[in-house]
Structure 1
Amino acid sequence: MCAKKTGSIEDLAVVGIDIGKDTFHLVGFDRSGQVVLRKQIKRLALDATFEKLPRCVVGMEACLSAHFVSRRLRDMGFDPRIIPAIYVKPFNKGQKNDYNDAEAIAEAALRPNLRTVTEKSQDQLDLQALHRVRARLVSRRTATINQIRAFLIEQGIAVRSGLRALRNSFEAILEQRRDEISARMRSILIGLYGDWLWLDDRIAAVSTEIEEISRTEENCANIMSIPGIGPVISTAMVAAVGRGDAFDRGRDFAA
């Protein structure tokens, strides 16, 4: 669906993209501020649609797909700008919908002093994904250990705090309290312990991969020269901010 246009698409100065899961909504302004583009496209039609447009500024809110879309458009010759959602909000007008969001993004993208999000490389996204997987696995392991403790408490068996204490005493508890723990509960506990060991292996594998990256990535090596900073923290920082070019001073990064 296209609205009536008073300008020419050839004078396109900026396009705002509201990125959705399956569809994108585009609103474009010409150099005089007139709306010359108002269109909904499928995600797979991104390249075909922008190939027909004049090269210009393209704004989008920071979201899961923003870095991929930004890289694709930059390769095509556009000037993509990823904008934090909080900076787009003041430009929203009327009821919230996809076209109004895209229009607000386009207006925000033209502001000269607006701070944008630094585009992440594929390597950064891969490293960030590794950290997210590791965090999820660690969370699942903690939940599994807590469940084992809870079931043991229900059987009147308390184990002192600490992962190592439970690991070292688990098999002894099952053997010494054989008469107190039912066969079904014993099977449940053994299954949970197996889950724990599997999670340990997965966490170790992901951690090893992160450590290998930290040894080959120059920025990680520089960060690890700071006392107390190891592979996990250094790679997390590089995944989040890259070289830190978005920050004018150390105080901005700390904030």
Structure 2
Amino acid sequence: MSHQTTAECIATIGIDLGKTTFHLIGMDARGRIVLRRKVSRGQLQSCLANLPACLIGMEACAGAHHVGRQLGALGHDVRLLPAQYVKPFLKGHKNDYRDAEAIAEAVQRPTMRPVPVKAAEQLDLQALHRVRRRLIGQRTAVINQIRGFLLECGIPVRQGPTGLREALPTLLAQRTDVLSARMIHLIEDLTGDWRWLDGRIETLTREIGDLARQDAACQRLMGIPGVGVITASAMVAAVGTGAAFSKGRDFAAWLGLVPKQISTGDRTILGGLSKRGNRYLRTLFVSGAQALLQRPHCWAGHKFGQWLQAAGARLHRNVLAAALANKLARIAWSVLNHTNGYDPEFTPHAV
């Protein structure tokens, strides 16, 4: 079979992405392997540019969205798959060609749900969130280390970063009876790190806020109670228009805001939250729900206010926060996907 004939037979391609080299497996319409090739990163576009438009599958990993945009511009149907969806199709011992073959097999399944290819702007916004989250974690570590050093010297400080910040100047100046000069100097250096991290986090927060205020989707999401600049921009960065989900329930389930189900033999067993999907976004929705629960005077202004009052009388506060986060996530998906602003009096039609 000639090279031209082989190229015309290819219907599906699985690509195992690497740092510098990619492994390709091409299949015809009947699932037979008709292409097996290893190419460098620079050769990938030229290798696939002359092929007829076909279905291309890749695992959703670092660099996959960039490659997906490049191949999509060539006219191919590019689909990114979560790695856990590809694993069941792997045959035999692992190698790069078998990984590519498993991807090609998995991407052909009609019920397989791909990861939407993110635009460059989405990845930029997502990068800002990830850097901000890392800096917040580092700031928490510095605060805990300062608190631990003080406790080792017999000085407990009340809970919360505000209490520690207010107490530090007095402690360092007056508790020289238990704090050595070396320990005082070390805590002063850690306090400087704390101030630097505060500045970096504030700068990133302002930048995220500026981007969110320029985006129409973020503006619509920010009209939802409990959804602020950070949550709205993180949702847009994660799911774009939300077109990957057919309804709000699917989005809430992807976030892990639904009970874990272990059912068999007509027995439905529900556990705690499944906690699957995007942990960062789930945390933001739960935090927004907890903030909303602290303002009961605002509940009456929303259609779900009566439900919230009734549920609050019978549910633990943490369970209520999770249930409210689920409801807010479903509302957020509807606002994002249907391009309509939030209506506090909206009543969904029964299906």
How does the TM-score come out when normalised to structure 1?
A: 0.93
Q: Give the structure 2 partner of residue 242 of structure 1.
A: 240
What percentage of residue pairs aligned between the two structures are identical? 54
Checking the alignment, whether the CA contact within 8 Å between 2:60 and 2:80 is kept in structure 1 is yes
Checking the alignment, whether the CA contact within 8 Å between 2:53 and 2:75 is kept in structure 1 is yes
Checking the alignment, whether the CA contact within 8 Å between 1:9 and 1:30 is kept in structure 2 is no
Task: Select the residue among 33, 52, 65 that pairs with 1:67.
Answer: 65
Q: CA deviation at 1:247?
A: 0.9
Checking the alignment, whether the CA contact within 8 Å between 2:10 and 2:27 is kept in structure 1 is yes
Aligned length: 250
Distance 1:90 1:179 in 2: 64
Task: Select the residue among 5, 8, 22 that pairs with 2:6.
Answer: 8
Task: Select the residue among 193, 196, 201 that pairs with 1:195.
Answer: 193
Q: Give the structure 1 partner of residue 123 of structure 2.
A: 125
Q: How does 1:19-34 map to 2 (within 5 A)?
A: 19-34=17-32
Q: Give the structure 2 partner of residue 153 of structure 1.
A: 151
Distance 1:87 1:173 in 2: 55
Distance 2:226 2:241 in 1: 19
Mean alpha-carbon deviation: is it higher for 21-30 or for 229-238? 21-30
For 2:217, the aligned partner's letter is N
Q: CA deviation at 1:185?
A: 1.2
Distance 2:31 2:6 in 1: 11
Q: CA deviation at 1:66?
A: 1.3
User: Once the two structures are superposed, what CA deviation does each residue of 1:78-124 show, in whole Å capped at 9, x if it has no partner?
Assistant: 11111122322232222221111101111222223321111111111
Q: How does 1:145-184 map to 2 (within 5 A)?
A: 145-184=143-182
SS at match of 1:8: helix
Q: CA deviation at 1:52?
A: 3.9
Q: Give the structure 2 partner of residue 208 of structure 1.
A: 206
How does the TM-score come out when normalised to structure 2?
A: 0.68
Checking the alignment, whether the CA contact within 8 Å between 2:6 and 2:35 is kept in structure 1 is no
Distance 2:6 2:31 in 1: 11
Q: Give the structure 2 partner of residue 56 of structure 1.
A: 54
For structure 1, list consecutive stretches of 5 or more residues without a partner in the other structure: none
1:44 lines up with 2:42 in the alignment? yes
Q: CA deviation at 1:210?
A: 1.0
Q: CA deviation at 1:54?
A: 3.0
Q: How does 1:86-125 map to 2 (within 5 A)?
A: 86-125=84-123
SS at match of 2:11: strand
Distance 1:160 1:31 in 2: 67
For 1:95, the aligned partner's letter is H
Q: CA deviation at 1:187?
A: 1.2
SS at match of 2:14: strand
Q: CA deviation at 1:205?
A: 0.4
SS at match of 1:31: coil
Distance 1:156 1:113 in 2: 61
For 2:181, the aligned partner's letter is A
Checking the alignment, whether the CA contact within 8 Å between 1:211 and 1:231 is kept in structure 2 is yes
1:17 lines up with 2:15 in the alignment? yes
SS at match of 2:38: strand
Distance 1:253 1:179 in 2: 57
For structure 2, list consecutive stretches of 5 or more residues without a partner in the other structure: 254-351
SS at match of 2:93: coil
Q: Give the structure 2 partner of residue 185 of structure 1.
A: 183
User: Once the two structures are superposed, what CA deviation does each residue of 1:216-249 show, in whole Å capped at 9, x if it has no partner?
Assistant: 1111111111111100111111111111011111
For 2:70, the aligned partner's letter is R
Mean alpha-carbon deviation: is it higher for 109-118 or for 142-151? 109-118
Q: CA deviation at 1:181?
A: 1.8
For 1:65, the aligned partner's letter is G
Mean alpha-carbon deviation: is it higher for 73-82 or for 137-146? 73-82
Checking the alignment, whether the CA contact within 8 Å between 2:16 and 2:59 is kept in structure 1 is yes
For 1:210, the aligned partner's letter is I
Checking the alignment, whether the CA contact within 8 Å between 2:54 and 2:76 is kept in structure 1 is yes
Mean alpha-carbon deviation: is it higher for 7-16 or for 233-242? 7-16
